[in-house]
């Protein structure tokens, strides 16, 4: 899977670039038993009609979706992720080990 994250609005030419990346991934990384590489293009915003026309004649499996940035982490994720303090402790332990 190839995921491309864009910080702005979806543009049709993004599909061509992702199609190129998928071709490269299939040629270089994919084995004979693997299915074709899937592309996911995440944009801050998108016009559904423009995205639909952009993907209309593309033969590779590509999806386009919007993402939303939020300052609040859902409880179910917050409990699964390490705290800031835990990350800082792990980093300082790693730095101490290298010294």
Domains by residue range for the chain, with CATH:
2-71 (3.30.160)
Rounding to the nearest 10 degrees, give the CA dihedral for residues 87, 92, 97, 98.
100
Query: Residue 19: what pLDDT?
Result: 96
H/E segment holding residue 83: none
How many angstroms separate the CA atoms of 42 and 40, rounded? 6
Per-residue pLDDT of the chain (99 residues; tens, 9 = 90+): 999 999 999 999 999 999 999 999 999 999 999 999 999 999 999 999 999 999 999 999 999 999 988 888 888 888 888 888 888 988 887 765 554
């Amino acid at each position: 899977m190839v995921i491309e994250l864009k910080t702005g609005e979806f543009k049709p030419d993004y599909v061509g670039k992702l199609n190129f990346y998928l071709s490269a991934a299939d040629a270089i990384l994919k084995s004979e038993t693997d299915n074709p590489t899937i592309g996911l293009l995440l944009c801050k915003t998108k016009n559904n009609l423009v995205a639909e026309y952009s993907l209309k004649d593309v033969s590779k499996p590509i999806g386009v979706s919007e993402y939303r940035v939020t300052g609040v982490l859902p409880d179910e994720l917050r409990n699964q992720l390490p705290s800031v303090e835990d990350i800082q402790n792990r980093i300082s332990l790693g730095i101490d080990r290298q010294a």
